[in-house]
């Protein structure tokens, strides 16, 4: 039975899906349109996909537009859109300056509804893989400098844990978020079509189920000018693994209601998180 003394805590969160190209201005126009649509539909928190501002013809294109931390047109755009639409905005990833002159930090920044930046997470796990089925090769470490810190943001709606794309494959990262009382995990992504069709839904639902939390995943979806195809299927998953909303392909958004009372009751009634044991001995 629901605890009558516990206040109702429900929030609508939206994940935007798009197929970005090499023109930053055109991408921002589309991003603005979709944020406005999500806000008008009642979203209080909006999550953008990875690389929303640019999917270049070559990987080094993002280095050419990198911004200083706290300054630049893409960051100004995010702050403006959060304030204008009265939403908390999780800004996908923005290429920021790194220690290396030929690399960027893939930074996911969170803005409150006044346009103030309240958090920054730098993508930790870099996608250095070859996909045998298609011959595709991705070496993110050639142009991206990895971050090191786990980020869980305290918001008026929930404690938001931030991960980006390839991070999704490393469950220990999300287990560490539990030590910071994470309730909702947001995952801006640009999953490839091949890996997405094989693993995307399974991984998202697994992260939600094993951590008894909501997962809101904003993915690039469709064909890009550079020839790449992203999987799409942005979705909202509840703590029991149910998919509340999804968008298989094309531009748009998904939205789900985040109910913290439901989350807390699920964790109370099914106390798997309290049963965690760290097994260190190896025979």
* Catalytic site positions: 50, 123, 165
Rounded to a whole number of angstroms, the distance between the first and last alpha carbons of the chain is 45
d(CA 185, CA 103): 27
> Do 89 and 81 contact (CB within 8 A), yes or no?
yes
d(CA 151, CA 136): 31
Burial class (CB in 10 A: 0-12, 13-18, 19+), 14: buried
> Do 158 and 260 contact (CB within 8 A), yes or no?
yes
Token representation of residue 259: 């109910």
Task: Give the DSSP H/E element, type plus range, for residue 269.
Answer: helix 260-269
d(CA 77, CA 91): 10
- CA-to-CA dists, residue 134 to 55, 81, 195, 206, 228, angstroms: 19, 38, 11, 26, 11
Token representation of residue 241: 């693994």
CB within 8 A of 26, min separation 6: which ones?
A: none
Q: What is the DSSP string of 123-166?
A: --S--EEEETTTTEEEEGGGTB-------EEE-SS-EEEE--GG
CB within 8 A of 6, min separation 6: which ones?
A: 261, 264
d(CA 258, CA 174): 18
């Amino acid at each position: 039975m629901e605890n009558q003394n516990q206040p109702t805590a429900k929030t609508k969160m939206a994940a935007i899906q798009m197929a970005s190209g090499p023109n930053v201005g055109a991408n921002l126009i589309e991003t603005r349109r979709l944020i406005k649509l999500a806000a008008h539909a009642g979203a209080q928190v909006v999550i953008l996909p990875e690389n929303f501002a640019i999917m270049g013809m070559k990987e080094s294109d993002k280095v050419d537009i990198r911004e200083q931390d706290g300054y630049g047109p893409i960051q100004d755009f995010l702050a403006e859109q959060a304030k204008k639409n009265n939403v908390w905005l999780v800004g996908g990833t923005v290429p920021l300056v790194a220690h290396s002159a030929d690399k960027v930090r893939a930074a996911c920044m969170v803005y409150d509804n006044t346009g103030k930046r309240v958090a920054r997470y730098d993508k930790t796990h870099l996608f250095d893989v070859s996909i045998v089925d298609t011959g595709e090769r991705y070496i993110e470490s050639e142009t991206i400098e990895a971050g090191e810190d786990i980020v869980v943001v305290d918001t008026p709606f929930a404690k938001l844990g931030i991960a980006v794309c390839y991070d999704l494959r490393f469950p220990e990262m999300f287990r560490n978020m539990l030590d910071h009382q994470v309730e909702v995990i947001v995952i801006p992504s640009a999953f490839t079509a091949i890996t997405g069709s094989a693993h995307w839904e399974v991984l998202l639902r697994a992260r939600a189920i094993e951590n008894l939390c909501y997962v809101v995943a904003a993915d690039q979806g469709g064909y890009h000018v550079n020839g790449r195809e992203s999987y799409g299927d942005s979705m909202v998953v509840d703590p029991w693994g149910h998919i509340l909303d999804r968008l298989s392909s094309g531009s748009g958004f998904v939205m789900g209601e985040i109910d913290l009372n439901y989350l807390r009751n699920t964790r109370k009634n099914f106390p798997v998180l309290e049963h965690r044991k760290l097994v260190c001995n190896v025979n």
